[in-house]
Amino acid sequence: MLEVIPFSTTMRAITQSFGGKMADSKEKKTEPSQVQLSSNEPLHAENKRKKIARIPPAVIKRLSLYARVLLDLEMSNVLTISSKDLAQRLGITSAQVRKDLAYFGQFGIPGVGYDVSDLRANLKRILGTDREVQAILIGVGNLGAALMAYGGFLRHGVRIVKAFDADTSKVGMQRGGVLIYHIDELERQLEHQPIDIAILTVPSEAAQPVTDRLVKAGIIGILNFVPTRLTVPPDVHVHYVDLAIEIESLCYYLR
């Protein structure tokens, strides 16, 4: 399943300043089918169940934004929030908020609103960030090294546990406490430790060959920073972060 994710939405781990308005995405008009997710299930099992439920991707993106707002409220000791107030903070409608949450069950009390801590805990469970997600990074160039050094991933439940590069001079070094292995060690290291997500920051010509190896090794989640489209099986999820496209889009509004 291929999906282009806006940089401001996907990489909240790089900067926390992208919490502004998010326009409603066009979605197929269907009645939300609730899906109950057990916190004891493996992350991959939850991903498969989400796919079966056919929840619109835009809904999943907005859940992350809701969770971010709720975290800010929780840190400010706010106990409850209405769907109207939550919607206003994100520039959407209260009906959209209620519809999004209805995919996953019943939340809140009519006339009272949502318990901030309880709703945030439920959203973390739904998103799979109530557990530590294991990630690897491939390509320790300037961007890759910056991502390794940034500690914000862990605050959102994602830990980069290993990195890989073809440059032998980098092998054995650490960035942000993460050990760098040679790319030839990829399959062997993946055998020793289950990995949920692979982050690609490799040269364009290496992106597809590396992806093929990841897929063969059983990786089903890829965050691709490389400006090239990847060919993957239907059950592999690829999210794209294209910085050049984001800059070009911004330039349009500066004319």
CATH 3.40.50.720, the chain: domain bounds: 133-251
At 28-71, the pLDDT tens digits run 444 454 544 444 444 554 554 444 457 898 999 999 999 999 99
Q: How far apart are CA 198 and CA 216, in angstroms?
A: 13
Q: Which CATH architecture has domain 133-251?
A: 3-Layer(aba) Sandwich (3.40)
**239 sits in which H/E element:** strand 237-240
Q: Please tell me the distance from the alpha carbon of residue 162 to that of residue 174, in angstroms, as a whole number.
A: 9
**Ranges in the chain annotated CATH 1.10.10.10:** 2-127
* 207 within 8 A of 192, measured Cβ to Cβ: no
Residue 202 near residue 228 (C-beta atoms within 8 A): no
Phi then psi for residue 108, to 5 deg, are: 85, 170
Strands 133-138 and 114-115: unpaired
pTM: 0.73
Confidence of residue 2 (pLDDT cuts 50, 70, 90): very low
d(CA 1, CA 233): 8
Question: Regarding beta strands 174-175 and 178-182, do their DSSP bridges make them parallel or antiparallel, or are they unpaired?
Answer: antiparallel
Annotated binding site for NAD(+): 139-144
Helix (H) or strand (E) run with residue 216 in it: helix 204-216
Contacts of 87 (CB under 8 A, 6+ apart): 93, 94, 96, 97
Q: What is the pLDDT of residue 38?
A: 42
* Fold that domain 2-127 belongs to in CATH: Arc Repressor Mutant, subunit A (1.10.10)
Sequential DSSP letters for 86-98? HHHHHTS-HHHHH
If pLDDT is split at 50, 70 and 90, which confidence band does 111 have?
Answer: confident
Q: Which two tokens stand for residue 164?
A: 């890989």
Residue written as token pair 């399959």 = 187
Whole-number Å distance between alpha carbons of 227 and 205 = 10
Q: Give 117-149 pLDDT, tens digit per residue.
A: 999 999 999 988 888 899 999 999 999 999 999
Q: What phi and psi, each to the nearest 5 degrees, are found at residue 223?
A: -105, 110
Report the binding-site residues.
Answer: 139-144
